[in-house]
Amino acid sequence: MALFDQIPDQYLTLARNTRMLFSDRSVGENINNFLNCFDSSTEWVDAPATCRKDYYDTTGSLWQSTTYPDPNYPTPARILFDPDPVKYNRDNWTFVYAQGDWEALTDGFVSQIVPQNLNTNDVLSYQFSYLNINFGSNIEDADDGFFVDLPHFGYYPNGRERWDISDIEGLETQYPSKTIIYWTTSLARSIGTPEGESFNNQMRQYAIANDKILFDVADIESHDPSGQPCYDNRDGVEYCNSANNCENHPNDGQNIAAICQDYTTELEGGHLGVSAGGLRIAKAFWVLMARLNGWTP
């Protein structure tokens, strides 16, 4: 995220002029809103309130947040930014909401979203949400997970269609002038799961082995602003977002990557309810788009 402030103007211009579409569930909607923070005004204080919310007290089990500027508390540096409606204009970047299991999302992306938006976009992508990596998901399965190429018709007894990595690769072959961005998943406080860790590691390995463009949201969400790793809420540590709303799950002895509490106000979920995480992801996305356009930091 430190690279965000180093992006040269020429690459900011190329990035904002790139026609890009990404599809996701509600966390993607959060990301979309945080991208809007940077072109919403000319002054930070005039940016939407959702762009200026952070914790002011995390010393006990009750973490308390406010919208800044707040005369009672100094504004945390991690939520400060310099908005610019011209420099960070993202009118060419489109968000499309989608939900479903991982196969349905892949089907929707390949069969509907890409064909319907092909002529108006040069970069296309979609992300699996933390709900797609919940306990029991087969997304990372060695026999029928996302990275297993299985036939469409006839493989399953009911003859249903099968959607997996081969269909995304098929898009790249069919439309070589278009760019596909691959994503790791979003994470939640309780998801953090073995399935999610396995899938996200598979995605990273696949991207490296096949020279793919990867936006590693899971890595961003699971490290706090100082770079320390964050783990799931099955840790025996109480967290409360109000006096009467707490979780304190027994420690299961495992450290599984999860969204940092610094980035969400939820007990179990992973929506970006405070600004620090969403701003970090939005900044990282600008870096990605600049690098797609040839910037080498």
pLDDT at 155: 60
Q: What is the predicted pLDDT for the residue at 157?
A: 54
Pairing of β 213-215 and β 64-67: unpaired
* Rounded Cα distance, 97 and 94, in Å: 10
The predicted pLDDT at position 158 comes to 53
pLDDT for 181: 99
Q: Whole-model pTM? A: 0.96
User: What pLDDT shows up at residue 29?
Assistant: 98
- pLDDT of the residue at 151: 77
In sequence order, which residues have a C-beta less than 8 Å from that of residue 154 and are 6 or more positions away? none
What is 122-148 written as a DSSP string?
Answer: SEEEE---GGGGSTT--TT-TTTSTTS
- The two beta strands, 239-242 and 245-247, are antiparallel
Q: How confident is the model at residue 243, as a pLDDT?
A: 83
DSSP 72: T
Instruction: For 105-134, write each residue's pLDDT tens digit.
Output: 999 999 999 999 999 999 999 999 999 999
The domain ranges of the chain are 2-292
Which residues in the chain come in under a pLDDT of 50? none
Under CATH, which architecture does the 2-292 domain have?
Answer: 3-Layer(aba) Sandwich (3.40)
Give me the amino acid identity at 123. V
Closest CA to 128 of 191, 39, 171, 211: 191
Enter the tokens of residue 119: 């002529």
For 205, the enclosing helix (H) or strand (E) is helix 194-209
**Quick check: 37 and 83 in contact, CB under 8 A?**
yes
Burial category of 33 from C-beta neighbours within 10 Å (exposed 0-12, middle 13-18, buried 19 and up): middle
